[in-house]
Amino acid sequence: MANLYLVDAQEAGAWQPGTLVEVSGDEARHAVRVSRLRAGEQILVGDGHGAQASGTVEHVAKDRFAVRLASVDRAPAAQHRLVLVQALAKGDRDERAVEQATEFGVDDIVPWQAERSVSRWDGAGGAEKAAKGVAKWQRIAREASKQSLRAWIPRVHDPIDLAGLRNRAEQPGVDVVVLHPRGIGTLAQWSRTRRAECAPTDETLVVIGPEGGFTDAELDALESSGAAVLRLGDTVLRTSSAGPAGLAVLNVALGRW
């Protein structure tokens, strides 16, 4: 399988078959020094915003390489966006959720400061901590996109609180599903019903709680704002795996898989 390397989006706008693309900077140094890229290899280059091209490496230097494009594809953005709202979690559990959700095709990722989140991006120095956290999640999404050969890198948004979540749930064209064992129906059942209704929504938010779960007050507030509280099945998943599992169900329901 060909490796994917990312370049500046402005350069990708002029790509055509036969174009010679030069890649430099950190991306090229990693390709040459770590991945041991060599002339003659078949690779993919992309901009993370839909443009992706295949070609043959013609020249490799210490900190750059050049590839002659053979074909160019431009994938449109998703018409119905899948959004993971991931509660901050201790250790690297939230980061693992970001990585897997990216591999599963999520379009946007929103950090959520839940009441029971052990990891905190608020408080003293919160703005700087939040900015660093968002940047780290974006790096994880970028690398996971390269590994899974995605044409679009999901965007990591600024953190959201409960009030922000309730506001999103009340917007037209938006479905919000909260995955929790107290849900009466399952996500699969809900997805089939929504598809049968041909509900014209623009995006579906999948909200995942932290290790300690949602508080009753959070669930009640989201439900009163129109969110659907649903189960994945009869078992309870970790905060790192619940989101990707939910995205898999929605991918099938939406015909993306």
31 to each of 63, 65, 80, how far by Cα in Å? 9, 9, 34
Same domain? For 30 and 101 the reply is no
Q: If you count them, how many residues does the chain have?
A: 257
Reported as a single tens digit per residue, the pLDDT across 164-184 is: 999 989 999 999 999 999 998
**Beta strand spans in 130-173 (E):** 155-156
Same domain? For 147 and 23 the reply is no
Query: Whole-angstrom Cα distance, residue 32 to residue 30?
Result: 6
Q: Does residue 126 surpass a pLDDT of 80?
A: no
Return the DSSP state at 85: E
pTM for the whole structure: 0.92
Query: Whole-angstrom Cα distance, residue 233 to residue 163?
Result: 28
Q: Does residue 44 surpass a pLDDT of 90?
A: yes
Same domain? For 16 and 138 the reply is no
Query: 50 lies in which domain range?
Result: 4-74
CB distance 183 to 229 below 8 Å: yes
Reported as a single tens digit per residue, the pLDDT across 64-118 is: 999 999 999 999 999 899 999 999 999 899 999 999 999 999 999 999 999 999 8
What is the pLDDT, as a whole number, of residue 17? 96
Contacts of 230 (CB under 8 A, 6+ apart): 177, 178, 179, 180, 183, 185, 186, 187, 190
Same domain? For 145 and 53 the reply is no
CATH number assigned to the domain comprising residue 144: 3.40.1280.10
**Beta strand spans in 121-215 (E):** 155-156, 174-179, 203-208
CB distance 92 to 140 below 8 Å: no
Same domain? For 148 and 85 the reply is yes
Last residue of a domain, one of 28, 44, 74: 74
Give how many domains the chain has, as a whole number.
2
Question: For residue 12, which phi and psi values (nearest 5 degrees)?
Answer: -70, -20
213 to each of 58, 101, 137, how far by Cα in Å? 53, 19, 21
Return the DSSP state at 153: P
Q: 155: which strand partners?
A: 108
What is the pLDDT, as a whole number, of residue 123? 66
Last residue of a domain, one of 74, 104, 123: 74
Q: What is the CA radius of gyration of the chain?
A: 20
Structure tokens at 118: 């052990």
Reported as a single tens digit per residue, the pLDDT across 128-138 is: 999 999 999 99
Contacts of 49 (CB under 8 A, 6+ apart): 9, 12, 152, 153
Same domain? For 164 and 245 the reply is yes
Q: Which of 174, 180, 229, 230 is nearest to 202 (CA)?
A: 174
Percent of the chain with pLDDT over 90: 77
Q: 161: which strand partners?
A: none
Q: Does residue 1 surpass a pLDDT of 60?
A: no
What count of Cα atoms within 13 Å lies in the side-chain half-sphere of residue 236?
A: 10
Q: Which of 251, 108, 238, 250 is nearest to 190 (CA)?
A: 250
For residues 26, 9, 144 and 188, what is the CA-based torsion angle, rounded to 10 degrees?
Answer: 170
Strands 174-179 and 203-208: parallel
CATH number assigned to the domain comprising residue 64: 2.40.240.20
Last residue of a domain, one of 42, 74, 106: 74
